[in-house]
Structure 1
Amino acid sequence: MAKTIMVTGAGGYIGSVLVPKLLDLGYKVKAIDRFFFGEEKLQLHPNLMIIKDDTRWLDPNHFAAVDAVIDLVAISNDPSGELFQEATYQVNHISRVNSAIQAQKYGVGRYILPSSCSIYGFRGADEIVDESSETNPLTTYAKANEKAEQGILPLASDDFVVTVIRQATVYGVSPRMRFDLAINGMVYGAWDKGVIPLMRDGNQWRPMVHVQDTTDLMCLLIEADSNIINGEIFNVGSDENNYKLGDLAEEIVRAIPKEITIEWYGDPDHRSYRVGFDKVESVLGWKAQWTATRGALEIYEALESGSIQRTPETITLNWYTELMKWHQIINRLDYKGIIL
């Protein structure tokens, strides 16, 4: 029988790429999400069960007859984490620990926690951090990820395989497109106005990973030898995609076929971390296939063709804020469940 994989945050930027990939590999998928960005991000499929639910109050019965959980759910990115701090800790930390506990209770064999390299925080220019390095989370988003790791890794046992992946900053085309990610935002600015917006001062290091690469790794972990992944942390990215943001912007300028300038904004960004990826390559034999140049061209061509567009929900913080505004308006006008 086909294995059943539960994916939380299934309608999000990474989830909407991962779910079709799992279905193509022959898995059955339980896709759990609030679907803030629309249910149409996932195409109907005979092996797809769409469950509209909130992981903070998730029915434990959803874990029955599940072989693996990929717990993608998160209030995503630093600006959203700072504006919605309580919700970020509830979703990114507490709900994921609770989900891992319920998964173990219901006999789920594997649990994969997608975390973030952002938990490494500020580092010196010459320091390259690996999975054994001390963490230094600077933002609510990063701190919640660290707490989730700390609550979930101790659950690993012979019967419950737990793996944490610390993802680099993700980029690339997705059905739930985001233009508030570094490479995606740079390419949109270049395509739209011939300007790449770049936060000062450009010397901050940031690792990158394409959404296709990180989802490929998640698929690999479902079947990987439990002896080499259980209780382990893997940084997900590549040395080739470790960039100073200023250098990254210059590479995108060279890659895109139009005249582009760089426009600086904001105060200097002190989040700087250069990450080593030897472990994921040597232990799992996995290697990222995408480069920033190839990814930038992918996004540029998709914009040119009209297959992706910058809509309100492609900027996560703006969309969350808009939803909160309309929630308040509707609550004020609602009368016995109706507006008119």
Structure 2
Amino acid sequence: MQTVLVTGAGGYIGSVLVPKLLANGYHVRAIDRYFFGDDKLTPHEGLEIVKEDSRRLTPEHFKGIDHVIDLVAISNDPSGELFSEPTWQINHQSRAKTAEMAKQAGVKRYILPSSCSIYGFQDDVVDETAGTNPLTVYARANEKAENDTLPLADQDFVVTIMRQATVFGYSPRMRFDLAINGMTYGAYTNKNLPLMRDGTQYRPMLHVQDTTDVMTLLLQAEPEKINGEIFNVGSAENTYQLGDLGKRVAATVGELLGESIGIEWYGEPDHRSYRVSFEKLESTLGWKASRTAETGTREIVEKLQSGELDKTDQTLTLNWYQELTKWHRIIKDIERHGGILDIE
């Protein structure tokens, strides 16, 4: 039985990926700081929880590991800008070090989930051969991680880069700071969906179940098809103009609630727009996305209606990092002799 080391295992994507790997018969060494709690992963006989920072991994962590999926990241642009140095350390340096240690330990495959955001904004539909134009700390750190890990590929160490479209859909570690998820929550709670003008901007989207399906597929794919390769992950069918996307989300929420959901336009027109070709992944591995914006919207509304899901600080990545940082300062200032009221 093979063992997969997953960094960022308790995050938005990781908490969907890990159960899927376990269901497919893998053992999983799930490494994370678990900022959002370790209750997002259900205990399993094949699951090993390791609470550690990716910047502090050692060769010991890679003993007995067959494959690595290096999900760990400060995971959005606002967080990357506010916590720029940790973003460079985690998204770039720690992943480069993880790939090197994995190779030295005899790991067979290393998968780096990166982002289509490294293309920046482009006039044409871009494929994996296009020049990159990363505009944020998050995107630039991803590009550096790609540049440092891809050259490690050889016949004994398969390295594959996934440039993911903007992810959406329900996850145990839910995020409402992602486009479709946030739109859905706004439409559900306010019966009105705010949308930045003018709605003609293109954005490629990707359901969290689809991207984790690709990760499991890459663990099984023939090495010669994926080694040293970069794949855009998403689909033409899930590339939306934001105005049309807002209408789709509003219509789906309205159908489920039996109400009319309006769209409220705001702000100056946002001219940022990009489209990406996903033909390489489809032609190489025969994979196609199977979930749409409506799929993600529907599942989120159903979770909200059941009471299983709600919007909290933990579902807004930047808010939660700021809250943890604030309380860390308070506790450090108050703590004495190893405690607050109970002391050593």
Q: Distance in 2 between matches of 1:255 and 1:292?
A: 9
Structure 1 spans left out of the alignment, 5+ residues: none
Q: In structure 2, which of residues 164, 169, 184 is the aligned counterpart of residue 172 of structure 1?
A: 169
Taking only the aligned residue pairs, the percentage that are identical comes to 64
Q: Distance in 1 between matches of 2:67 and 2:17?
A: 14
Q: Distance in 2 between matches of 1:39 and 1:268?
A: 41
Three-state SS of the structure 2 residue aligned to 1:176 is coil
**2:314 matched residue in structure 1:** 313
Q: Distance in 2 between matches of 1:148 and 1:263?
A: 39
**2:210 matched residue in structure 1:** 213
Three-state SS of the structure 2 residue aligned to 1:328 is helix
Q: Distance in 1 between matches of 2:270 and 2:296?
A: 23
Q: Distance in 2 between matches of 1:236 and 1:314?
A: 24
**2:42 matched residue in structure 1:** 43
**How many residues matched?**
337
Match runs of 1:185-264 below 5 Å: 185-256=182-253, 257=255, 258-264=259-265
Describe the superposition over 1:103-123 as per-residue Cα deviations: whole angstroms up to 9, x where unpaired.
Answer: 000000000000000111111
Task: Give the residue type in structure 1 aligned to 2:329.
Answer: Q
**1:71 matched residue in structure 2:** 70
**1:334 matched residue in structure 2:** 335
Cα contact 1:153–1:231 (8 A) shared by 2: yes
Match runs of 1:110-189 below 5 Å: 110-124=109-123, 127-189=124-186
Change (3 A) 1:149 1:287: same
Q: Give the superposition deviation at 1:251.
A: 1.3
Q: Give the superposition deviation at 1:264.
A: 3.5
**1:4 matched residue in structure 2:** 3
Q: Give the superposition deviation at 1:268.
A: 4.6
Task: Give the residue type in structure 1 aligned to 2:275.
Answer: R
Cα contact 1:122–1:270 (8 A) shared by 2: no
Change (3 A) 1:319 1:281: same
Change (3 A) 1:269 1:339: farther
Q: Distance in 2 between matches of 1:68 and 1:178?
A: 27
Matched, 1:21 2:47: no
Q: Give the superposition deviation at 1:232.
A: 0.3
Change (3 A) 1:266 1:154: farther
Three-state SS of the structure 2 residue aligned to 1:201 is coil
Three-state SS of the structure 1 residue aligned to 2:237 is helix
**2:298 matched residue in structure 1:** 297
Change (3 A) 1:270 1:322: farther
Cα contact 1:27–1:47 (8 A) shared by 2: yes
| TM-score, normalised via structure 1 length | 0.97
Q: Distance in 2 between matches of 1:327 and 1:248?
A: 39
**2:83 matched residue in structure 1:** 84
**1:283 matched residue in structure 2:** 284
Three-state SS of the structure 2 residue aligned to 1:287 is coil
Structure 2 spans left out of the alignment, 5+ residues: none
Cα contact 1:8–1:31 (8 A) shared by 2: yes
